[in-house]
Every structure is written in structure tokens, then in C-alpha cells.
A and B are shown apart, each in its own frame.
Chain A
Amino acid sequence: MAVGRVSGVAVAGIYACVPAQVVDNASMTALASPAELQKVIKGIGIERRRVVSEGQCTSDLAQVAAEQLLADLGWPSESVNLIVFVSQTGDYRLPATACVLQERLGLSKGCAAFDLNLGCSGYVYGLWVASQLLNSLGGARALLLVGDTSTSLLAPEDRSVQFLFGDAATATALERRSDAGETTFVLGTDGSGASHLIVPGGGARNKLDNQSLSRQPGRDGHPRAAVNLFMDGPQVFNFTLREVPGLISALLAEAKWSMEQVDKFVFHQANGYLLDYLRKRTKIPAEQMVLALKDYGNTSSASIPLAIADRLAGDFAAGPTRLLLAGFGVGWSWAAAAITIAQGTPTRVIEAPPSAVPRVA
């Protein structure tokens, strides 16, 4: 596995933004009987999810989180020199959503901006890339904007994904601070799993055509179109068991942390069953494991910072917090970080009203 180390860059704040619209899984009786729904809810540990309204994009949620975070930190817009936008649901095929957000956030033209196309592992990747680049920019500040509106990719009758995914975006402020300690990263990839979690259509490989929107039963029997998300749950589960326990032990070894020195473990919030099994398998005490998926579902790249914002404000207020972050999934791609968050670092969840941001184009 690849190992990265970054020193002298601190997380100054982590804000999450979720859409106001709540969908209760128990209400989804068009897709399953009430008894089946109860079984699914118990199995995946997800009771409700936040879902965007028509016209609301990942960038809109990211903008709300970023504006509030900049205001609360008192950071003038010209002090930000880097925007990294991590998502698989950008506004356009091109240009990069980071460029669009530079203008919408009123940031200066002296700002580097680009997108990263990653999902479950994307937050940790974004932290690694943005921190490392900040060190080469000299005295700068960065905004790491990470999120997805995966519900826009789901076929309406696909029971293999409909109860699982929610929408959210997050903003993490990073800045150079000489007293910031070292963050250790471990990253890995196995592209042989690409076909198990994929939106196959609409890209350059399978171009949009007049069949792209037509929904046909897939090999699991659920109807979906080429532009919809396909997920093979058992393959995802197998991949996770194969790679994640080793990822955690490798990171602890590289960071020279013991399990007991970690205050909180924040894993990609894939589903409750998987996280519970993984926790037992890696012998993480239940009270150290952060879970926020009951109310939000699996929010793809946003799930780690959203879980932090939803659950760890009290920890951050109380003292420095040692976090072990681990993202794993679509790719297959995985990345973990051992990071210490300074006392008093602000973190919160904001709700975006349906039409908070006008559509741009």
C-alpha cells in the first residue's frame, strides 16, 4: 500500500450540508411490504435519508457548507488559494465543478481549483491531496469540498440501492500551521472491482444513445438503465472484508498509534451491518466507532465528514481528538488517515432549504 505523510497542515473546520427533504425508509411501500421494509431497515441500520429536491446539486449543498464555514472562521475569500472538489456527481461533464464554485463562492482568481472523481475513499484522498498541495503553495488556505447526490443516479425501482443512499456535501477548511502535527495516510487500489459498483453509461466508454435511459432487468433482476448506479452488495462486502482490516492495521503501524490511542474511528458509512461486522472483526470497541447512518444513509464521499459533523462536535470542544478515518468502496479504492484534530475545531451539520441556490446554467 502507498503511504503518505503530511506535516504542518491543520483542519480548521468541518461543516456538512444536507437537503431539507427527509425520506423515511418505512414509507417506501411502493417498493416493498411494511414487513420487508422493517427487515431491511434493521439489516442496513438506515431509517431515513436526506434527498435533494429537483434541481438541487452536490455543488449547491457544498456551497452552503463552504459559505457558512468561511463566515464562521472569519476567513476572507481572497485568503483561499486552493479548492478541491471531490465527487462523482459534479454539475457538468465539463467544466470542473471546482471552477464553477470558485466563482459562486466569490473566491479570488489566484486560486487553484480542480475535481477528483472518487466516492467512498474520496474524503481521505481529498485530505491527502489538499494538505500536500497546501504545503507547496506556501502560506495558503484550502477548501476541500466533498459530497455526492447519489440518489440522482438510482433507478426508481431498484431495491438493491434505493434504501441505502442519501445526499450530502461537506466543506473542510485546511490551513498551514507550524504547530500542526503529522497526518499519516495509507492508500490502495484494486481496479478489478470496477464493474461491481458502477454507472456504466454516459461516459466515453458507453456513450449516451437512445438506449441509455431504457430500464432493463439486470443480472440481479432489478430494473435499471445504463446511466443508473449498479451495486453488487455481496462483492462490496467481500472486498471490504478482504482489504479493510489490513488497511487499519497498516495505518496504525505507519502512524505508530495503538488502537487505544485512537479516540474515534470514522469509517465510510456504507451500511450498518457491514460496519458492525467490520468493527467486531477489527476489534474496535463500540464506543470508539462513530455511526451516523441511521438518519442519513450512505452518503458516498460525504459520509466520513458528515459523521464527524453530526457526532463529534462535543469531542472537538473537549480537547484534541485523534481520529482514524477509513474510506473504501467504488474503484475498488481505499484510503485511511491517522489525524489529530485540534481542540475547538468547529464542526456542524446545516440543512439546505430546497431552493437555497439558484441554478446557474
Chain B
Amino acid sequence: MGSYLLRRLLQSLLLLALVSMIAFAILHLAPGGPLSQFLATGNMGQEDVDRLMQQYGLNRPLPIQYLEWAGNLATGDWGHSYRDQLPVLTKIGMHVGPTLELMVTSTLLAMFIGGLIGILGAVRRHSFFDHLATVGAMVALSIPTFWFGLAIIYVFSVNLGWLPAGNRENIGDGSFLDRLRHLVLPCIVLALVSTAVWSRYMRSSMLDVVNQDYIRTARSKGVPAMRILFHHALRNALLPMITITGLHVSTLLSGALVTETVFTWPGMGRLFLDSVSNRDYPVVMGMLMFTACMVLLGSLIADLLYSVADPRIKGASK
């Protein structure tokens, strides 16, 4: 197990270095730069922009800029944002909380509801409920998020006035209840789509299992249906779900751009878009590295969980 972990870690480091080089090159080769936003505002001349380029060291060869960045990263210095001068990790830290809050609640909600729908759909295959769930999932997947977000804001905030139209909290309040009220609408929007996705995953995974020989054997032995379902079928059907969950961890952290924008939610998706469009290189690179780490960590954890859930794999990973 120890050597397996070590091997995985070394692979991950190599992958991270590769990812960072590619990302750095693409980012810097994209036209424009962190200073072009100031040209648009009209208070600066060419001489000012050239001077700032030099002061930021942006006119040096790309490999040198990369080595400097990578060297700093190796010593734990993620750099400072070009826009507000805050340390990159501080910025990511400020946005990870709101994103996790939103993504974890909506994902848990979606996994729970979607899971139930999927199980029921598989057990009562081709029933009215199964067809309804299939159609419902298609509809949910087809609704544009921004439209649905605006629609429920219009109904629940503008017309009924029950819930806030956006933001994470009332600044100065921030109590649990206040946070919860702000969480409801964006959570529903995000959960809608992922419920549909999870229900489809769960249904097909469950269907694979219930047609297996050992389930048929259990049924013919007279094992109660509920026990077959939860003890034998569900446990095996969950195996592929673990992989999906592991891969989903990075999605949790990269945020949901559209929902965050519609609901003014200060999450990672918004930070990424704002940083990319302003060519805030240190923040974009920091976020990419952070997300890449999380993807690698997520798949590692999924593999480890797999061996816990399925004793057959334990031997293979040694």
C-alpha cells in the first residue's frame, strides 16, 4: 500500500508539472494581457502601459517567467493577484468556502433524491414512474440554468418576496438562518440538473446489478426483496458511483459559473472567469494548480475507497 501511494504521488507531481507548463504557455500566448483593461479606461498612455509591463516583468521571455513562477510555487509562494494585490491563496480561500457551501449542499441533495429516483426507476423498470423520471430528467437537463435561475428569482424573490434574489448573506448578518435563506434558490437551480444526472447514473448502475446471477439466486432462495435491494444490489451498484463521485470532487471546487453569476455568489467559477478575462495570470495559474491537485486527489481517494468497498481490488493495488 505504501509503495502504491508513493508511486501515485510521483505520477501526480509529474502530471502537475506538465499541466502547469501547458497552462502557463496557453495563458500567456492568449492575446491581450493584464494591462489591456487599463487601456480601455482612457486614463493612461502607451508610455504608462509599457512602464507597467516592465515593472511587472511581463516583457521577459516566457520560459524565464515560468521558471520564476514555478520556483516561487515550490517554496510555497503562490504569488499575488495583479488586480487587487492579495495573495493568490487568500483569494482562493475566500472563494472556496462559498463554492463548497453551494456545491456540497446541492450535490448531497441531488445524490439523495437522484439516487432514490434511480433505484426506484431500476426496480420498477418500464413502470409509469420510470417513464416519468426519464422524461423529467430530460426536461431538467434541457432547461438553461440562467433562465431557470432568473425564473425562480422572479417568482420567489420579486413577486412573492419569500427569499433573497441573490448574494450569500446579508452583510452584517451572516447567521445560520440568513445563510440558509440565501442558499435555497441557487441550491435548487444546481440540484435540478445534477439530480437528473445522478438519477440516470444510479438507474443504469442498478439495472446492471439486478440482472446479475447472484441477485436471481438470492431471489429464488426467498431472500426478502428489501434485503436483496439494500444489502446485495445497492452495495454493488454503488461501486461505479464512487468513481463518479471522486471525479466530481473537482467539479465541486471549480464552482458553477452561471449559477454564481445569476445569484451573485462569490464562488470559484466567478473568480476564474474574472481572472481569465482580466488576464490575472497568478490567480488563474493558482486556481488551475489547485483544481488539478483536487482532481488527482479525488481520483486517488476514489481508488482507495474502491478497495474498501470491493475486497477483490485490495489485492490488486498492493
Partners in one complex: no
B contact set with A: CB distance below 8 Å: none
A contact set with B: CB distance below 8 Å: none
